[in-house]
Structure 1
Amino acid sequence: MAVSGARPRVSWSCDPFASRGRLVHEDDAPPRSAFRRDCDRVIHSTAFRRLRHKTQVFSFNEGDHYRTRLTHTLEVAQVARSIARALGLDEDLAEALALSHDLGHPPFAHSGERALNECMKEQGGFDHNAQSLRVLTRIERRYARFDGLNLSWETLEGIAKHNGPLTDRDGNGVGRYAAGLPHAIQAYNEQQDLELWSHASAEAQVAAIADDIAYDVHDLDDGMRARMFTVDDLADLPLVGNALLEVRTLYPGLDVPRTVGEVLRRVITRFIEDVVTETSRRVAEADVASAQDVRGLGHPLVGFSPEVQKAERAMKDFLFPQMYRHARVERIMEDAQQVVRDLFGHFIAQPGDLPPSWQEGRDALNEERLARRVADYIAGMTDRYALDQHARFFDTTPDLR
């Protein structure tokens, strides 16, 4: 199925000219739509620039060709735009959500998040998705009239719940949030109701599935580059193995780097085509006619077909032991977690060592608010800055390679 051509906007997409607006009213800024403006604000944010030096899987000093949080984010945005264009959704909103989705990630990838979650246990834990919302609504300070970026309701809604509803209609947490909502999401929702009980827009669901597609495929690429497995090890994976057979049939004797490139390009295309086909089928079946219909449907509208869902699951099942739990990655990430724990403990004990811009009103902070401020500061660090700060206060800074 061809997916390159743009389609007229469908009725169940979000309309930027009918946005629910911003927390602080701003006049329109033609010729940009509300969602294009959101996208531009994210690109120009400090948090977005920091993604360049935040780990995806491999730390920055292991090589220049591995993905970082920034390159991953750009790949997610490309996939999200492609899917949104093929479905007739708003590309700018899908892109804004893709560019924003990892802004709350601390240094050292999910290991850094696990360490911060442990440190913040008494304050409700740490959740990178909630932290992304906190960055966008509070931590970024670039405007005279408000904290954060004052993005549109649709963008903030998508960041909060692109993976599905967070509560039931009575406000009780569901799924991973059954024990309670993260502080950042609950606090912002009291200012502007994000309808946490419903699903997000189709554009937000596109950004979420684009994230899965991007990291599944580029982690295969990075894993082979790191020699954790070979292209031949992929032969038995559904969808990937078929692509490998096709490439070797068309191009016998092709060198390994080009073979990998051809295979992974085909896998991404197959994923995108499947999402477009399956989502179109679901739309016809559900007979949705508006963005609010999508939110109230009760289940995701955007997704893989059952066959491709199994293939995608098989990729994750392969990567988990071969890469994410590889002894080399585990060793480095254990050291990285200790860096985060050490920094958190130090700044809690010595808040005077925080930068001056982070000490405003420090004497009035209670234990919980101090912990949250320290977590905000650490979460914003790049890998190298975290290591530099650790070296200032400790004599045991690890070499993460």
Structure 2
Amino acid sequence: MSSLSNEVQKNRPFCSHAAAGKEAVRRCSEAKLTTDYRFPFSVDSDRILHSMAYTRYIDKTQVFSLIRNDHLTHRVLHVQLVSKIGRTIGRFLGLNEDLIEAIALGHDIGHSPFGHDGERFLSDICLACGIGTFQHNAQSVQFLDKVERKGRGWNLSIQTLDGILCHDGEVHDIALKPEINKNFRTLETEIDTLIHHPETPLTPMTYEGCVMRMADTIAYIGRDIEDAIRIGIIRREDLPAASVAILGETNGTIVYRLVTDIIASSQAGEAIRFSPEISHALFTLRQFNMEAIYLNPAIKQHLHGIRDLFHLLFSRFMDDLALRRENSPVFTHFLHHMDKDYIRSHRDAAIVRDFISGMTDSYFLEQCPESLRPRTIRMG
């Protein structure tokens, strides 16, 4: 590391339990990183920002698919909010903000088109094809480690990839303490376990990964409420009174109170945690969101049609691979110039999984017959 980098590092207020840049471990060593003025986890952030998959965030659904409203949250905004919230918490706890940022920016890169509904449809197909379920957090690692740069991957640190794999913001945690001493073999084992046993709990290897997982929940819980109010499927007065009394009723207040509570309740070396009162209020609000927003039939009008299109495209691209139809998009837009090691090590079903899951919502629909494409609806 350069003298400039060493001098800056001395002045950073890291606590003793923060992930140190010098401990970043990559699959392949890179000599230039030992003299680069950038910190190793900052390099990870830069590589994720410049990935092809990151550019596609802008047209990936967060919650509301096929709804015309320019002010709804898409994944590109969500990951920025997660990064901001996570770095704020990390700063006050003396953790490594560069690592938090890298995990945050990359954590949802593996999401399929059409959000969690698309993930469920693709998972059913993958399971039927014998390659395990589809899990977006495992797919995020797959993209960054094995698909990007035409199959060479970005050679990110194990700390970043582990945080991405273990980020599951849908799990309600009152407290998280890292499981240390993981390596790339651990990563591969956890990915394999996850896709074949999706309920398996995973815990990050760093305090930064624990913070990012909490930040994921904080970033979406209130923002989804604001989006749902904006399109008229809930009213602010519908929010559960018990949660409102503790967390407030607007996204800004909810975020502030959750972040403040984590900072006040956590201590690196012990656990990243919510207080019991805040945790219960958050759990109640999450239950409300699930019933009133995520399962609301008003935003599921095209669900069956989208499911059928996932099956149609998967079957079509499988046939294209089997019959070597090299004018197919799976060849021209995905496998063209792909590293031979990637092709040799992936079954056809895994190749199609990677191709489809990387699509934006609009590109996915472009691959479908025009007569079968669902129409967007205006809400709000």
364, 372, 380: which one pairs with 1:396? 372
For 2:260, which of 273, 296, 299 is the aligned residue? 273
How far the C-alpha of 1:243 sits from its partner, in A, is 5.7
CA-to-aligned-CA distance 1:93-149 (integer Å, 9 cap, x gap): 00110111000001000111111111111211211111000111111117xxx8111
CA distance in 1, matches of 2:213, 2:366: 33
2:102–2:160 CA contact under 8 A, matched in 1: yes
CA displacement 1:358-391 (0-9 Å, x = unmatched): 34699x9799700110110000000000011113
Alpha-carbon distance between aligned partners in 1 of 2:84 and 2:195, rounded to the nearest angstrom: 29
For the 8 Å contact 1:80–1:94, the answer to whether it is kept is yes
**More moved, 328-337 vs 129-138:** 328-337
Establish whether residue 212 from structure 1 lines up as the match of residue 217 from structure 2.
yes
- Answer whether contact 1:60 1:68 (CA < 8 A) is retained: no
Shift of 1:74: 0.8
Aligned residues: 338
| Distance of aligned partners of 1:135 and 1:242 in 2 relative to their CA distance in 1, 3 Å threshold | same
2:102 aligned residue: 96
In 1, the alpha carbon distance for the partners of 2:157 and 2:116 equals 28
Q: Is the 8 A contact 2:90 2:211 kept in 1?
A: yes
The residue aligned with 1:344 is 314
Q: Residues 128-147 of structure 1 correspond to what in structure 2 (within 5 A)? A: 128-141=136-149, 147=152
After superposition, the Cα gap between the structure-2 partners of 1:59 and 1:199, relative to the gap in structure 1 and judged at 3 Å, is closer
Counterpart pick for 2:193 among 166, 176, 180: 180
1:161 deviates by 2.9
Inter-CA distance 198–317: structure 2 relative to 1 (3 Å threshold): closer
Q: Judging changes above 3 Å, is the alpha-carbon distance between structure 1 residues 367 and 20 closer, same or farther for their aligned structure 2 residues?
A: closer
Q: For the structure 1 residues 117 and 366, does the alpha-carbon distance in structure 2 shift closer, same or farther, using more than 3 Å as the test?
A: farther
Please report the TM-score for the alignment, with normalisation by the length of structure 1: 0.76
AA matched with 2:354: D
Q: Pick from 10, 15, 19: which aligns with 2:20?
A: 15
Q: Could you tell me which residue of structure 2 aligns to residue 3 of structure 1?
A: none
The answer as to 2:322 corresponding to 1:377 is no
From the superposition, tell whether residues 38 and 179 of structure 1 become closer, same or farther in structure 2 (CA, over 3 Å).
closer
Structure-2 residue corresponding to 1:124: 132
Percent identity over the alignment is: 32
Q: 1:264 and 2:220 equivalent?
A: no
Contact 2:26 2:155 in 1 (8 A): no
Cα–Cα, structure 1 residues 357 and 323, in superposed 2: closer, same or farther, change >3 Å? closer
Aligned pair in 2 of structure 1 residues 359, 78: CA closer, same or farther (>3 Å)?
Answer: closer
Structure 2: distance between partners of 1:113 and 1:307: 33
- When the two chains are superposed, the root-mean-square deviation of aligned CA atoms in Å is 3.2
Asked if the contact 1:9–1:88 (Cα under 8 Å) also holds between the matched residues in 2, the reply is yes
Equivalent pair of 1:332/1:400 in contact (CA under 8 Å):
no
Partner of 1:112: 118
Which letter does structure 2 place at the counterpart of 1:328? A
Which deviations, in whole Å up to 9, do the C-alpha atoms of 1:24-70 show, x marking residues without a partner? 43422532100111111111111111010000111254211000011
Deviations 1:152-178 (A, max 9, x none): 221122222345899xx9xxx9xxx79
In the alignment, what sits opposite 1:78?
84
TM-score with structure 2 length normalisation?
0.80
> Of 7, 28, 37, which residue of structure 2 is paired with 1:31?
37
1:315 aligns with 2:302: no
